[in-house]
Amino acid sequence: MREDVIGRANVEDTPELDRYYHELGRQESYALWTVANSIEPWHPQPTSLPQMWSYKAMRPLVLQALDLVSPEKAGRRVIALENPGRKGTSACVGWLYSGLQVMKPGESATAHSHASSALRFIIEGKGAYTVVDGHKMDLAAGDFVITPNGTWHDHGVESDGAVTIWQDGLDMLLVNQLDANFYAVHPDLVQKSNHPLNDSTMVYGGAGLLPAGGEAWSKPYSPSSNTNGAAPTRRWSTPRRRPTARPTTAS
Ligand SMILES: [Fe+2]
């Protein structure tokens, strides 16, 4: 793409250059000026289109998946959101992925790890939980959970819970573009948790406060995996004893 602008590539085709480009191609190379204006646009040129997904419309379809596939066979029972301008890329927008995951009481997903980072917003349900690097936390509607890249994580719904739907968000498509992703299944399939339930929130959930006396948190992400956005007082509405044994923050 030629541009008649100073500083931009504007080389006309000639028979001599055509032969030259052909020789470059035989050496798996090319002349940058033939593509420079395309691969370095003046400004971002997103192909994603505005799209609104109606939860009212999506919810029955998501619940339908409960009877159609098991989490064992599906790996993760998720209905993903596809941007109409990004067909074929699995993207919700740009290179970001998002989907609605649904689980029945008593179901759990295999513990795993990947290079991409994930976040989870709980929309509805009861009795759901996530375990991040051995730290288990219960989940309720309005909870916002992070599973940073490289952490072991698994999730499920307790047998006395209710059907739970949450929205996942991952940067895996972007990580894939960098050829940097991996996926690993935990050797035990389900993580063992040696920490008190919700310990990460109890230890690190106090705004402006850090626990005294223990080892310092050294990982490059928040040690508090769960933030309750819809009901910020829920976790503290009934007194909970702080864990007597200080949980470690490392996996
Ligand atoms: Fe994951």
pLDDT surpassing 80 at residue 24: yes
The pLDDT of residue 242 is: 44
CA 197 / ligand 1 centre spacing (Å) = 20
CA 179, CA 168: separation in Å to the nearest integer?
22
Q: Which of 23-27, 152-156, 205-209 has the weakest average pLDDT?
A: 205-209
Count the neighbouring beta carbons within 10 Å of the beta carbon of residue 95.
18
The pLDDT of residue 221 is: 85
The pLDDT of residue 176 is: 96
CATH of region 52-206+221-234, choose from 2.40.50.100, 1.20.1270.10, 2.60.120.10, 2.60.40.10? 2.60.120.10
Q: pTM, whole model, 2 decimals?
A: 0.82
More confident residue, 37 or 203: 37
Q: Where are the beta strands (DSSP E) in 49-196?
A: 78-80, 97-103, 112-114, 118-132, 135-139, 143-147, 153-170, 183-185
The pLDDT of residue 92 is: 98
CA 214 / ligand 1 centre spacing (Å) = 29
CA 18 / ligand 1 centre spacing (Å) = 49
- The domain spans of the chain are 1-45, 52-206+221-234
CA 221 / ligand 1 centre spacing (Å) = 16
pLDDT surpassing 80 at residue 113: yes
CA 45 / ligand 1 centre spacing (Å) = 30
Q: Which of 52-56, 86-90, 197-201 has the weakest average pLDDT?
A: 197-201
Cβ(222)–Cβ(204) below 8 Å: yes
Q: What angle do CA 246, 244, 121 make, to 5 degrees?
A: 65
Section 152-159 average pLDDT: 94
Q: Which of 6-15, 112-121, 125-134, 214-223 has the weakest average pLDDT?
A: 214-223
More confident residue, 204 or 118: 118
CA 100, CA 209: separation in Å to the nearest integer?
34
pLDDT surpassing 60 at residue 233: no
